[in-house]
Amino acid sequence: MTDSSLDSSDTQTPRIATGNPPPPIKNGYVSIGVPATASDASLSPANKIRRITVLPLVFLIFYEVSGGPFGIEDSVKAAGPLLAILGFIVFPFIWSIPEALITAEMGTMFPENGGYVVWVSSALGPYWGFQQGWVKWLSGVIDNALYPILFLDYLKSGIPILGGGIPRIAAILALTVALTYLNYRGLSIVGVAAVLLGVFSILPFVVMTFMSIPKVQPLRWLVVSKKMKGVDWNLYLNTLFWNLNYWDSISTLSGEVDNPKRTLPRALFYALFLVVLSYIFPVLTGTGAISLDQKLWTDGYFADIGKVIGGAWLGWWIQAAAATSNMGMFLAEMSSDSFQLLGMAERGMLPEVFAKRSRYGTPWVGILFSASGVVLLSWLSFQEIVAAESLLYCFGMVLEFIAFVRLRVKHPAASRPFKIPVGVLGSILMCIPPTILIGVIAAFSNLKVAAVSLAAVVIGLVLRPCLKHVEKKGWLKFSVSSHLPDLMA
């Protein structure tokens, strides 16, 4: 239910009438985690859409977070084998596990497509929920602008014409259109594609690991950076962070998951192991089986390692896996971004048109909107894209941590189908290490990137009142779907 923490303009947003019974109330507030009745299911807007099961959900999470060990090479270049190996073992405990656990608890508490937008709205009110949605959507679109570029970078050695000019621009547009169309055709197709692409991307590293066993020298793993200037902490931390975050992105698909209170935590658990192992074993193999030359450890170096260990065929397989992995990451990210916009529209934060679904059950307006952002941002450099999306993502994560703790304090008895086995104090302590890490990442950012990110945040602060004015004037229609429970805020 709502109380005085919601401003009057938010409480007056009309609801879409679907005939659903009001949400059940427990102890004076809405019980989010109660099972839906048969009548509820029949009245859901997406009741005829095939739901995502565990296996495709695991690979969607895999591609939201990772996509394979492509891009982790810089960790060895920055810090040497020992710190790279330790980083991919220790960093998940500082960041990945807390974020995945919070996603499992909050995603099952609020099993709808707004995901983290709904979490923050329930804890801090719709204004801050909108800010969360804005920075996370923008971060996701910026991130997604990378993948067509990286895909072509892997191909240009064999097809030099894709290196620049009109052919490269045309290829980026064609790839974006093709992958956008797959998203339009439905999450079931995206899920199957994620599984197939994931298996294809992981298998060459399984083969390389077994083939390298006779060549591995464990003492090579103990080497710290040999560079004259020592460890490049900025590159090292950013590489770890970029390759081990975004666990919360899957929450914006919670409304499309089959039995989310059981499926989502299981999928996050399996995906966590899959991601970490897909990083550790390639690093162990690459640093243990061949002599170390740190300057060679850059993007694409695993293909060279594969050629040394298994021959040219394995190197080409790894290169093809790297290229196709970018396709999987694009599909997963666009699904998350577009369904987030749908969830925000269902909550009355965006115009009602964003809540419209295609005949395949996909949010076609959100897909087109996200694809347009990808095309507009694809001209930026790789370094600028990574730095900008990381800062925006960090801002959103701070709001998530605050929302998680605040809901534990304000609504300790609320229905939580999956609950992290810690109390309020434990919840606070769990959020401290990743929050400190966010501060460290922000401290390493240059002024240009920080200024651009700050400008993006300011746009969001202004955009919410502008949209409320548009709603008040009746220029666009806003409405809240009545099949959703009220926010707790």
Residue 30 has pLDDT above 70, yes or no: no
Rounded mean pLDDT, 85-90: 97
Q: What is the pLDDT of residue 267?
A: 98
Asked if residue 1 belongs to a domain, the reply is no
CA angle 250, 245, 391 (to 5 degrees): 110
Q: Are strands 480-481 and 15-16 parallel, antiparallel or unpaired?
A: parallel
pLDDT digits (tens, 9 = 90+) for 433-478: 999 999 988 888 778 888 888 899 999 999 999 999 999 999 999 9
Residue 238 has pLDDT above 90, yes or no: no
Please name the amino acid found at residue 449: V
Asked if residue 487 belongs to a domain, the reply is no
State whether the Cα torsion 358-355-456-245 is positive or negative. Answer: negative
Q: Among 144-158, 266-280, 391-405, whose mean pLDDT is lowest?
A: 144-158
Instruction: Assign 153 a pLDDT band (cuts: 50, 70, 90).
Output: confident
Q: What is the pLDDT of residue 142?
A: 87
d(CA 425, CA 84) in angstroms, rounded, equals 32
CATH of the domain at 151: 1.20.1740.10
More confident residue, 149 or 73: 73
Asked if residue 370 belongs to a domain, the reply is yes
Asked if residue 375 belongs to a domain, the reply is yes
pLDDT digits (tens, 9 = 90+) for 363-421: 999 999 999 988 887 766 666 666 667 788 999 999 999 999 999 999 999 999 999 99
Residue 329 has pLDDT above 60, yes or no: yes
Asked if residue 2 belongs to a domain, the reply is no
Residue 230's domain comprises: 8-35+47-481
Number of folded domains in the chain?
1
Asked if residue 218 belongs to a domain, the reply is yes
φ/ψ (deg, to 5) at 359 = -70, -10
pLDDT digits (tens, 9 = 90+) for 276-295: 999 999 999 999 999 999 99
User: What's the token pair of residue 350?
Assistant: 């965006």
pLDDT digits (tens, 9 = 90+) for 105-130: 999 999 999 999 999 999 999 999 99
Q: Among 54-63, 228-237, 378-387, whose mean pLDDT is lowest?
A: 378-387
Percent of the chain whose pLDDT exceeds 70: 86
Instruction: Assign 484 a pLDDT band (cuts: 50, 70, 90).
Output: confident
Instruction: Assign 48 a pLDDT band (cuts: 50, 70, 90).
Output: low
Q: What is the pLDDT of residue 34?
A: 38
Rounded mean pLDDT, 230-254: 92
pTM for this entry:
0.88
Q: Among 23-32, 263-272, 324-333, 436-445, whose mean pLDDT is lowest?
A: 23-32
pLDDT digits (tens, 9 = 90+) for 172-225: 899 999 999 999 999 999 999 999 999 999 999 999 999 999 999 999 999 987
Q: What is the pLDDT of residue 166?
A: 86
DSSP 8-state secondary structure symbol assigned to residue 25: E
Q: Which residues, listed in sequence order, are joined to residue 52 by a DSSP beta bridge? A: 257
Percent of the chain whose pLDDT exceeds 90: 69
Q: What is the mean pLDDT of the chain?
A: 87
Q: Are strands 25-26 and 29-30 parallel, antiparallel or unpaired?
A: antiparallel
Q: What is the pLDDT of residue 18?
A: 35
Smallest CA-to-CA distance from 333 within 369, 370, 296 is with: 370
The enclosing H or E element of 481 equals strand 480-481
Q: What is the pLDDT of residue 5?
A: 38
Smallest CA-to-CA distance from 148 within 3, 5, 294, 329 is with: 329
